[in-house]
Chains A and B, each alone.
Chain A
């Protein structure tokens, strides 16, 4: 880039715009690129401090209330079985996201298990067990009102 001096007004305007663009961009890079790198570093540090389960459950931590429910469901429900998530009265520690999104979150987490309306495996979030359509036999439950079981 060996510039010769511009001679006409449009050339001067054009060169001026180029120089201003580069100057502003360089100033922004000097200030904001270190910040961007530092923010990424902070994000990496925060991610590294999480436990394996916190990292795997991730968004589910704001939904499922108890990670143990998710892991118990994955451990007990066979991969080729079907299940359903039944919600009812709010469980202890529930967030605004629990009832609307708990079914969607389990659908992803429990794959390849398939959700089905008539499934015998039940992930029960404060559900009314008398309305599940059979005799509910819990295989796991916690103190918040979440349980996992199957219908007989």
Chain B
């Protein structure tokens, strides 16, 4: 709750950006400093995902998480990424090269101002927010405190706290935030989640601003900010929005790869999907759905595309092995569904109510306005215009997401058929599609417009 804590968080997030810039250098390189600035949001999110992935592996093998290990790991990652980038033929632009800023249209200027106003209000809300969300105070933050105080996945607390199987990226990142703040400050911790969201927005803008006209980018983006559920919830110190943010960037990069086949994007997707799988259990499903959707629409070029997509999936899964090994060694719950497999037949009466709940929540105006229907319209516009690959990919992602949301209620009979967050996490789950809409709607609308010109 102090300037010291805020400055500490700022330093940590600059570290994420530095590590992520190096990772971006490794997979892509930068043509100029202004290009790095434009992709700074993506670099930041790559830094979050890569640092979380490596720190988790370190903690699993017994390297205590602390200030020194965070800084040391970051330094090693930067050096390794630099070597990989150099070997890949990437070079640094001259230090004194001029920073050329793009021309900004008035639509982009208005959109950017609205986003800044929104983020400023969210920052003030986050800065002094108390820990009210049940999941936050009951297990996410206690796990982070345990890592902070004891340096690792403490035997006692990681057994006694509920949801043992939940992947530990958020507790590890929160523990890192505590170290940089100098205390287990659960109030200022909310600002860390503000940084994640701001980085996500910056990444979307950086990836799309050169590809779509400003009106197609900023209207869906500001619509996302206008949704009633988003504001008070993305600053909560839980994993729900971080997993969506990482996943949506991966899904967007896959969409862009479908359009231009630049393979560096798949490298970035692998890093982001590793972060997704290490953030929440549904991250595995999200990652699989994106790769499967991309696989379906690349069927005609399967010989070239599928091995690449499979390699991305394998890399993401490999990153989760240390955590899965720890769960197994300690004989902790693996986190499977209560009624998966044949259990679904025994609970067949929950199938339709589960699907109906997923649909009504996703299309609930008071929660998400008309973000999902507008995504459907954008898919239809792109499809009619002949943009079949992108439209098919987006439609499949939507179908897979709905199937996953349905399964999440159907396969867990202890969950009520309700939007009450104490009984069912369905509202938080549907955030995946809403954030996805902010990323894919601009691309779909722009491609549809251009195709029909």
Contact = CB atoms under 8 A, between A and B. Distances in A.
A33 B222 contact: yes
A24 B228 contact: no
Contacts of B129: 43, 47, 55
Nearest to B214: A1
A10 B377 contact: no
Contact of B118 (A15, A20, A25, A33): A33
A59 B130 contact: yes
Nearest to A17: B381
A50 interface: yes
B350 interface: no
Interface in A1-19: 1, 3-4, 6, 10-15, 17-18
A10 B157 CA distance: 60
Contacts of A28: 223, 226, 369-370
Interface stretch (B77-85, B142-150, B277-285): B142-150
Given A40-B125, A112-B149, A10 B384 contact: yes
Interface stretch (B66-74, B337-345, B399-407, B445-453): B445-453
Category for how many chain A residues contact B = 35 or more
Interface of B is mostly: helix
B374 A24 contact: yes
Nearest to B140: A108
A1 B449 contact: yes
B186 A56 contact: yes
Contact of A47 (B117, B128, B374, B384): B128
A111 interface: yes
Contacts, number: 169
Contacts of B149: 111-112
Greatest chain B CB density within 10 A among A24, A31, A40 is at A40
A111 B445 contact: no
Contact of A55 (B128, B134, B216, B223): B128
Contact of A17 (B122, B133, B219, B377): B377
Interface string B129-140: 111111001100
B160 interface: yes
B32 interface: no
Contacts of A36: 118, 225-228, 230-231
B220 interface: yes
B452 A32 contact: no
24 contacts: A3-B453, A4-B453, A6-B452, A11-B452, A14-B384, A14-B452, A21-B374, A22-B215, A25-B219, A25-B223, A28-B369, A36-B225, A36-B227, A40-B232, A41-B125, A43-B232, A47-B127, A50-B128, A55-B187, A56-B186, A107-B142, A108-B145, A111-B149, A111-B184
